[in-house]
Structure 1
Amino acid sequence: MATITTPPLAPAPAAPSRDGVGEWRAGWRVALRLARRDVRRHVGRSLLIVLMVAVPVLLLVGGNIVFSSQDLTAAERIPYAMGQTQAVATYSGGIQIPPQVEPWFGYYGQGMPKSDLATPVPGWGTDLATHAQALGALAGATAIPITEDGGYTTIGRRQIDLQVRGVDAARYSTQTQGIVRLESGRWPTSSTEAVVTKVGVFHGLPSSGTLAVTDRSGTLTTYTIVGVGEGWIAAYSLQPVDLITLPAAGALENGVAAYLIDRPTPVTWDEVKRLATYGLQVTSRQVILNPPSREELALPDGVQSMADNAAAGQAITSAIMAIGLLLETTLLVGPAFAVSAARQRRTLALAASNGATTAQLRRTVLAQALVLGVLAALVGAVVGVLGAWAVIRWSGIYRPDTMFGPFDVPVLPVAIIVGCAVVSAVIAAMIPSRGLGRLDIVAVMRGQSVSPPALVRTPIAGIVLAGLGAVGVFWAVAFTSGAERTWIDDVVPLVAMGGAIMLVIGALLLVPMVLVLAGRVARSAPVAIRMALRDAARQRGRATSTVAAILGGTALLSAILVVAASDTAYRAKTYVPQLPMGQALLIPTTQMDGSLADPRWTQNVTDIAHGIDPALQVHEIALVDVSRTGGAIQKPIGPESPMVMPFFVAVRTGCALAQALDMGAPIGADGPPDMSCLSLNGRGMSEGRSAILVGTVAQLVQTYTLDATAEATLRAGGLVVAGDKAVTPTWTKMPEGGWVPSGPILGQVDIVDGRVSLARGTATYGSEAGPTLGNVTTLSLAATPVPAATLNATDAGVPGPAFHGMTMVGALMTVETAKSLSLPTQTIETRIFDPRGPLSAEAGAALSQSFADSNLGWFYVERGFQPYDTVLAAIVLSFIGLIILVATLVSTALSTAETQSMMGTFAAVGATRSTRRNLAAAQAGSLGVIGALLGTLVGFVPGIALARSFTRYPTESVAYGEYTQGAPALVDPTVVIPWLQLAIPVIAVPALAALLAWLAIRKAPTVTRRLT
């Protein structure tokens, strides 16, 4: 019997080994190649995405470069501060000081400042030359004096305030390179020659001829201009100067004198510490470039962390802005990638039917985002760098007063911005790519692709997150910190940010449900609206991205509008006029910066006012200020040199003259300040209710509505004084040191037999406690008391109870009396008014322009409460409205391009161009309205919370005598919903988008007729 045998089966081939990393790399390589092809194929869509990502990138990159080029580091400041020398030194006035590495930022070494007397510098002398000689001998170097001074010049009626750098650049041209630079002409060689800088020419100085300059001591010098150059003062910010002269001797008293230390060897940290014991603050090139260790510096607690935080400040700020860029770009570009993914559905379905995995399909979409994101970020960064360079070059030519250092590209902030831009594009594409995991291949191939059914848990999660976020935002905003800081204070900012994020995420999770509900509600709507909403409900991926972009912009806008409207209503409700309606005031520029004013200032103001309208009246308001005379205050110039100051004070009964001058001295060794002798003080802006105001009799009587007795006293050369008693506050000692009063500190004028006792002379303040008096003369003036509120009423000669919060009036004196007593005065402001009624708008505008052209000061006209600048509000509304409009139009344009085949079907069955236009308009308008409504509701939460927080505290007291001890009582918050402004993003912007979409449908689709 035959046996049938079966040959053995060959063993199955072994499965090929999988190289996961290799497959991943190969997959991304193919995806990126396809993405590059798609970018070139669809140039219009690619350019749109690149533009939306690149524009914010170039703005942030350019802004960082401009900031970095303007914000100089300590090393970059070296040539501006010390030229080519080894160090620069300043003298502190005979008191030991702590050594510093960088005086521009205030980081001290070796503890905080001391009050011990410095070791005298041998041969210090009293002038710049002997100072330099003594310092050179002490440091083993050549000491070169340089000075900083100020002053003013007048050209016509215009007063030009000047910054003056004093340096002997003709003798020390090499050493001073960097501090000054000569462009044409020569350096000054005498005390009456000067070089004008490009900044000075920009400010209006002549580039040749002569120039009369009044310095801070009041001395007039006529300079011959011998050249044009540049010069700088390295303070906390780098300041360009207007004039370069030889070192000014007056800078010892009225400016700043410094000394360059020029020698071959560097000035070490040990030498810096040694010279500090002589009262010399030395900034060394060597120490800045090679700073000592933290252990050597012995920094106080917290100082090093402050320095570290300051160093990282720009990077942190850039990171925050980059995160905002990420959110903005993700919302704006999201619709474009959603539509792009929808356009590729058929191609992706074919790939999936041939075995492509979900990961490979997602790579196809993400690769496009990666290519476009990198391209856009690089384009934006390059354009930002070039734009910043152009801005800096333009500023150097046309705005020399804007100071820039070396062109600086901050690598870390720019890298953060570029990286976030790329990440934002990838995240924007990641959302539609997630839907490819549920791609219905059969439906897509049949042309019936719709979004998968929405998950029930999604809107529930959205409601929960939005509710928790709203609660968190309201709690964080309403939280009030206690007397002592706890861990809750640190958590509040995190809760606020987390709440806001949860609120937005929750609202976005609700969008699909809202689209489905809108599609169902629109069953009875017109055809175009019904089809648009049904299409949005069926294609939720594309529509959700569009609604999310609109929601983000509208939420921000609605929050801003609610806060602005509420704050405006609150300020309008609590507004107190600073002047009688229609009157104006002008505060001289010198009053704000402390410099001297042109003696013709008041006359110039009067001439301008009468030139505009001869009927206008100008009233000057001035204070007695004995410290404003040239050289009145003598600064110490050596360890044993005291400070000498003139005085003019009223002496209260039972008070010694020294007590009236040494205000604030403690009562006992550890007691509170002694203010019991506070009275009138002729030192301009003095302590509360002690200023002496000067004016003509007519002005004073009219302004303060004085009676006949007070008027007679003024005419007789007497004073009208505040008759209220002094307010004695309760002093509380703070745990960290110092004393805090329970209320305002107000002086008192004692009238004995109808007269006030006054004294004048000089007070010398040395190292010992208390002043030494000299040249004392006493006098008594007739006085008539009036209520203090009369001299400090809101509608009186100065607005409010104080000169803009700086002082209170204690007495009135006539101009004639001040002159007869040889009392110098300081002009505080001028009042301009029309006796016929309120100042007209035309006159106010002409006065404002004329005063600005002449640089005479700050001008203000009382017109009642004025809301926020309408131009600024229009800019904000327009910008955010533009974002909403762009997001809507991008989605509409791309979706219209996607539905071209459907439009062909419409045309084949008889649809007209109007029908197609109506459908496109309905798509744009409906999505715009839905996104704007949701965004408005989301923005209401932080907007109302912030409005309640901002408007629950009372405004600062402005009526005389009002004062609230401790924390002010809360008031009912003011919340205003600006419905009219909100109609712009909710109605106007979607309507505009619908109109543009309607106009965009211009040609009929191509339809092929079947012949058989």
Structure 2
Amino acid sequence: MSVFTGWRAALRIARRDALRAKGRSALVVAMIALPVLGVTAADITYRSADMTPAEQLTARIGSADALYTDAGMGPVRQMPGGDMYDSVKQPTGEVPPIDMRPVFPRGARAISEQSVSATVSTSYGIASTEIVEFKTSDRMARKRIDLVEGAFPRGTDELVATEPFLKSAGLHVGSGITVTTSGRKYTISGAVELPADLEAKQLYADPGAVIAPWQALAARDKKVPAPHPGPARWLVEAAGQGGIVWKDVLAANKAGAVVDSRQVFENPPPDSEVPLLRTNPQYAESRTYESGETSTALITVVAMALLEVVLLAGPAFAVGARRSRRQLGLLGTCGGDRGQVRAVVLGGGLVLGGVGAVAGVTVGLLLTVAFRPMIENWAGHRFGSLALRPAELLVIAVLGLVTGLLAAFAPAIVAGRQSVLESLTGRRGVRRSSRVLPVTGACVLALGVLIAVYGGTSGSSVLVAGGSVVAELGLLACIPVIVGLLGRLGRRLPLSPRMALRDAARNRGRTAPAVAAVMAAVAGSVAIATYMSSSLAESDYAYMPSLTTGTIFLSASDAEAAGRLPAARSAVEHNMAVTGGRADISRAWAGSDCNVYYEEENDCGTLELVKPAGKGHTCPLDTDGAKELAARLSADEHRAMMRTPACVDVHTSTGTFSMDSNNIVVGDAALLDTYVKLDDPAAAAALKAGTPVLLNEAYAQHGEVTLKAVHTYSPKDKQNRKAHPGPARKTTDRLKVYVAKPEYATTPGIRMILPQRTAERLGLHTQPQGSVYAVDRRPTDAEEQRTSAAIDQAGGGLWVQSNQGSNDRGSTILLILTLFAGVVTVGAAAITTGLAKADAEADLTTLSAVGAPPRVRRTLSGFQCLVVALTGVLLGTAAGLVPAVALRLVDLRQAMEQMRIDPMESAYTPIVLPWATIGLLAVVVPLLAGVLAAAFTRSRLALARRAG
């Protein structure tokens, strides 16, 4: 019999066996298909979410041939892509807007785009938004802005809105809306979306519908504020089929326009024809940039996913080979040799691996298509198309097929070594565990950890990925010994958990692969979650809040608006979640008001809080030897130094309450309690007595501060100029202050609180600026809109400010990978424990035969699942921390290098454990697996004769 004939027979037997044991075969196929599904979906999602340059161009220019933009700097030179440009000569003054229409190629058709900021009415009150005049119904706008519901504007009294705006404003298609700044009313005719920015909150109207009527009204009525539209841009469609070519771009550059052309993008000119490259050759270098942390994380996660695919199928074939042991014994009695027995088991791996691979790729593709809208909303933009790369999908499918063969390899070797008698009777014999394997595994585990850590410290993502995989393989080799120790833990436990632990230890060949499968799945989830949690902690640390936690600020724009503060305060207190605390703030200045623009540089006065020189006052990272010092500091030492009073405001000299750098506010003791959160009776008594409270001790020397003022008055400031004629007057005052503790130096926007009577004594001008409120949560959109409406009704000119929070909430790619890793984790736990239960079916039958109560069968099955899932989760958590910590070491190395270049840059790179994720995986998933296993286990079973 030829080799091919033997394999045909083996494959036929494997196929028939798979069809005969449909339940077990389905579990095996699911075990292989699940990771293939996850990798397939992750690959398609990652490729689709990563917009290509062509898709990015379409997001900018829609279906037009080109986008013309006024650079505002006279004649320019640009790169073919339009992303980089420079002026031919530096303009000496303000460059007037250019008329684009003569610049367009002959016969071209163009539509304009121009935006203006305005306030509009909502169902709750008033909201600030951006209104764009743009012919949204034109075919050139397609793929840049698309209609979701209703119709495009059919006249100057209609406009369309993005869905996020409608949701935040409580409006819908058909609602009326008023531009409050001009008083003109419109109807929302449709809802639109920007495929490149699904979170945009904007309104769109036809050209001439908003800005021109508003300008005409402002010209007639001086009380109406004039609009300040941005520069116009033009989408252009060429008359012929050639599009906007490079010579058209060069002609537009001479007039001062930058052009994004589809034709030039697809057929870029040679470098010799790009004028910008002749003056700036460095622009020829590649400008593509990918985050180092994202690429490193991606490499590591993919490497661990490949290992996971191999491990997840192991228990399936180990169980399948034992369930088919009698059949393999019969094959031996019929003259089959060991090679043919091994071929049958490997044939099962080939058959089920192939089915699982095809099913995984197919279902992964279908699920990605089905959940595409949800993923796009999560990513914040639409996919240009589903990026299906046949070569990558084929590799994934082949990997699943090879996984089936590799997973069946060890069971095939074991089946080939068994005697015919053992196979027919089902007896497993007594075998001693290998002592070499766990020792080798421990050494490999230590080696893998060392490689991963070295890769992290050296910045090598390849070593991080390789070391993580090696460490997981080492831990995998240790699993049989760990499982063997489980039996010793149940000596004092009740019957069911004790039997479950001993059963797991006795059947290591079945338990160890199942634990390994769960461990592999959990390791990826924990690695991603740990890395994300750490990155978010770093982002939160770098975030500089504009206000202290739990506060909002009501601010007046000028003296006229300050007179309407009482009405505005009532609006805030009525519409927002104010807890009762309020502190009124005034601002102080010398000379003419520096918040008012004057043409001459010295037209306004200055007020400066002088920082003394010397140790404790000067930031060491802002001196000549800062780079040498930064090279010696660790990340934690640098972080601590940046939090000291001497360094805390080096990069953040201005704040919420002051447009200049002094950060001095006029207030009373209520400000300490409401905003500063300083509960100090001595500080409150000092303010009441007229003594300023200094929050940053670096500005004090011997309990005093130096306040320098230059009282300069502009000729346009007629009122103050008349009261203070003559040249500028300079004053330097030494003030005794109350110095707060060092931790209050980080208070946003305030360096010193000055009592009102002290400011008047120093000859400073003061004006009410607003009020600070303590709130129990951030205001909602509805609350902000109601408050804005009440303020506008009272006369306007005031607004409410709150902390927006850190915007960087993690990479979309990492979030997507977390989703798929979590799905694989739950699925792996369910399938592997189900296989373990199937393998122990004979033991459960024997348990019923000896008279065990029905509930024991249920609880035993549940605890068997719990043991497998819990052990795998705990080991997977430990394995997942290795790549996560190594990746953070890569980030630390990059941050330290950046800190040595700029000593003020933070090198803080924390490692934060995701306790919520770990708790979910370590507690909820195992308990859920155990409960489900107990629930789906039949209490009573018809007894059957047991072989042997």
TM-score by length of 1: 0.63
How far is 1:347 from its partner?
Answer: 1.8
* Counterpart among 211, 232, 256 of residue 279 in structure 1: 256
Please tell me the residue identity of whatever aligns with 2:943. T
Question: What are the equivalent positions in structure 2 for 1:791-802 lying under 5 Å apart?
Answer: 800-802=746-748
Match of 1:616 in 2: 580
Please tell me the residue identity of whatever aligns with 1:342. R
Q: Distance in 2 between matches of 1:184 and 1:822?
A: 55
Please tell me the residue identity of whatever aligns with 2:469. I
How far is 1:338 from its partner?
Answer: 1.3
* Counterpart among 79, 103, 115 of residue 135 in structure 1: 103
* Counterpart among 179, 185, 195 of residue 213 in structure 1: 179
For the aligned residue pairs, the C-alpha RMSD in angstroms reads 6.7
Give SS of 1:260's match.
strand
Is 1:290 the counterpart of 2:258 in the alignment? Answer: no
Deviates more, 1:542-551 or 1:324-333: 324-333
* Counterpart among 408, 411, 414 of residue 389 in structure 2: 411
Match of 2:187 in 1: 225
How far is 1:468 from its partner?
Answer: 2.1
Match of 1:895 in 2: 839
Give SS of 1:255's match.
coil
* Counterpart among 92, 110, 124 of residue 71 in structure 2: 92
* Counterpart among 468, 480, 489 of residue 512 in structure 1: 480
Q: Distance in 2 between matches of 1:321 and 1:938?
A: 13
Is 1:339 the counterpart of 2:319 in the alignment? Answer: yes
Q: Distance in 2 between matches of 1:524 and 1:154?
A: 70
* Counterpart among 919, 943, 946 of residue 1006 in structure 1: 943
Is 1:457 the counterpart of 2:436 in the alignment? Answer: yes
How far is 1:46 from its partner?
Answer: 3.2
Q: Distance in 2 between matches of 1:409 and 1:315?
A: 19
Q: Distance in 2 between matches of 1:211 and 1:695?
A: 40
Is 1:447 the counterpart of 2:439 in the alignment? Answer: no
Q: Distance in 2 between matches of 1:934 and 1:925?
A: 14
Give SS of 2:235's match.
strand
Match of 2:122 in 1: 155
Match of 1:4 in 2: none
Give SS of 1:166's match.
strand
Match of 2:89 in 1: 116
* Counterpart among 222, 227, 232 of residue 257 in structure 1: 232
Whether the aligned pair in 2 keeps the contact of 1:451 and 1:541 (CA below 8 Å) is: no
Match of 1:832 in 2: 773
Whether the aligned pair in 2 keeps the contact of 1:851 and 1:859 (CA below 8 Å) is: no
How far is 1:565 from its partner?
Answer: 12
Whether the aligned pair in 2 keeps the contact of 1:451 and 1:540 (CA below 8 Å) is: no
Whether the aligned pair in 2 keeps the contact of 1:722 and 1:786 (CA below 8 Å) is: no
Whether the aligned pair in 2 keeps the contact of 1:326 and 1:421 (CA below 8 Å) is: no
* Counterpart among 531, 542, 551 of residue 585 in structure 1: 551
Whether the aligned pair in 2 keeps the contact of 1:119 and 1:278 (CA below 8 Å) is: no
Question: What are the equivalent positions in structure 2 for 1:320-719 lying under 5 Å apart?
Answer: 322-354=302-334, 356=336, 360-392=340-372, 403-404=381-382, 406-411=384-389, 414=393, 417-450=396-429, 453-475=432-454, 479=457, 489-491=458-460, 493-515=461-483, 539-552=507-520, 584-586=550-552, 606-607=570-571, 609-610=573-574, 616-619=580-583, 648-650=604-606, 689-691=661-663, 693=665
How far is 1:420 from its partner?
Answer: 4.5
Whether the aligned pair in 2 keeps the contact of 1:165 and 1:233 (CA below 8 Å) is: no
How far is 1:501 from its partner?
Answer: 2.5
Q: Distance in 2 between matches of 1:359 and 1:240?
A: 68
Match of 1:245 in 2: 206
Please tell me the residue identity of whatever aligns with 1:116. K
How far is 1:343 from its partner?
Answer: 0.8
Give SS of 1:338's match.
helix
Give SS of 2:746's match.
coil
Whether the aligned pair in 1 keeps the contact of 2:314 and 2:407 (CA below 8 Å) is: yes
Give SS of 2:288's match.
helix
Please tell me the residue identity of whatever aligns with 2:551. L
Whether the aligned pair in 2 keeps the contact of 1:132 and 1:144 (CA below 8 Å) is: no
Q: Distance in 2 between matches of 1:80 and 1:950?
A: 32
Whether the aligned pair in 2 keeps the contact of 1:563 and 1:947 (CA below 8 Å) is: yes
TM-score by length of 2: 0.67
Give SS of 1:1002's match.
coil
Q: Provide Cα deviations, 1:316-368, integer angstroms capped at 9, x if missing partner.
A: 98776554444444444432221111111222233345454655444433444
Is 1:165 the counterpart of 2:132 in the alignment? Answer: yes
Evaluate the alpha carbon distance shift between residue 983 and residue 99 of structure 1 in structure 2; reply closer, same or farther with a 3 A threshold: closer
Evaluate the alpha carbon distance shift between residue 313 and residue 74 of structure 1 in structure 2; reply closer, same or farther with a 3 A threshold: farther
Whether the aligned pair in 2 keeps the contact of 1:555 and 1:936 (CA below 8 Å) is: yes
Greater relative CO (CA pairs within 8 A, separation 6+): 2
How far is 1:372 from its partner?
Answer: 3.8
How far is 1:421 from its partner?
Answer: 4.6
Q: Distance in 1 between matches of 2:513 and 2:89?
A: 69
Whether the aligned pair in 2 keeps the contact of 1:757 and 1:778 (CA below 8 Å) is: yes
Whether the aligned pair in 2 keeps the contact of 1:146 and 1:257 (CA below 8 Å) is: yes
Evaluate the alpha carbon distance shift between residue 387 and residue 983 of structure 1 in structure 2; reply closer, same or farther with a 3 A threshold: closer
Question: What are the equivalent positions in structure 2 for 1:731-750 lying under 5 Å apart?
Answer: 750=708
Q: Distance in 1 between matches of 2:920 and 2:471?
A: 22
Q: Provide Cα deviations, 1:170-202, integer angstroms capped at 9, x if missing partner.
A: 8xx455555556775664655x66444555444
Evaluate the alpha carbon distance shift between residue 28 and residue 149 of structure 1 in structure 2; reply closer, same or farther with a 3 A threshold: farther
Please tell me the residue identity of whatever aligns with 2:580. L
How far is 1:264 from its partner?
Answer: 1.8
Q: Provide Cα deviations, 1:782-810, integer angstroms capped at 9, x if missing partner.
A: 99765799699866xxx93434xxx8679
Evaluate the alpha carbon distance shift between residue 618 and residue 262 of structure 1 in structure 2; reply closer, same or farther with a 3 A threshold: same
Whether the aligned pair in 2 keeps the contact of 1:149 and 1:255 (CA below 8 Å) is: yes
Evaluate the alpha carbon distance shift between residue 778 and residue 467 of structure 1 in structure 2; reply closer, same or farther with a 3 A threshold: same
Q: Provide Cα deviations, 1:808-857, integer angstroms capped at 9, x if missing partner.
A: 6798989x99xx99999987xx6324xxxxx7xxxx36966964786987
Q: Distance in 1 between matches of 2:80 and 2:437?
A: 59
How far is 1:545 from its partner?
Answer: 0.6
Q: Provide Cα deviations, 1:908-930, integer angstroms capped at 9, x if missing partner.
A: 67676577667656755665676
Identity of aligned residues (%): 22
Q: Provide Cα deviations, 1:586-606, integer angstroms capped at 9, x if missing partner.
A: 369999xxxxx9999996675
Q: Provide Cα deviations, 1:756-785, integer angstroms capped at 9, x if missing partner.
A: 4465979xxxxxxxxxxxxx9987799976
Q: Distance in 1 between matches of 2:301 and 2:829?
A: 23
Bigger fraction of residues in helix: 2
Please tell me the residue identity of whatever aligns with 1:586. I
Evaluate the alpha carbon distance shift between residue 296 and residue 65 of structure 1 in structure 2; reply closer, same or farther with a 3 A threshold: farther
Q: Distance in 2 between matches of 1:525 and 1:230?
A: 63
Q: Provide Cα deviations, 1:859-907, integer angstroms capped at 9, x if missing partner.
A: 6799xxxxxxxxxxx999998985685366224312123557xx35x66
Please tell me the residue identity of whatever aligns with 1:164. I
How far is 1:258 from its partner?
Answer: 1.0
Whether the aligned pair in 2 keeps the contact of 1:759 and 1:777 (CA below 8 Å) is: no
Evaluate the alpha carbon distance shift between residue 783 and residue 202 of structure 1 in structure 2; reply closer, same or farther with a 3 A threshold: farther
Q: Distance in 1 between matches of 2:27 and 2:514?
A: 15
Whether the aligned pair in 1 keeps the contact of 2:528 and 2:884 (CA below 8 Å) is: yes
Evaluate the alpha carbon distance shift between residue 787 and residue 197 of structure 1 in structure 2; reply closer, same or farther with a 3 A threshold: same
Greater Rg, structure 1 or structure 2? 1
Structure 2: gaps (5+ residues): 216-225, 611-649, 677-681, 718-724, 789-799, 806-817, 897-901
Give SS of 1:350's match.
helix
How far is 1:286 from its partner?
Answer: 0.6
Q: Distance in 2 between matches of 1:373 and 1:706?
A: 74
Whether the aligned pair in 2 keeps the contact of 1:28 and 1:363 (CA below 8 Å) is: yes
Q: Distance in 2 between matches of 1:77 and 1:571?
A: 27
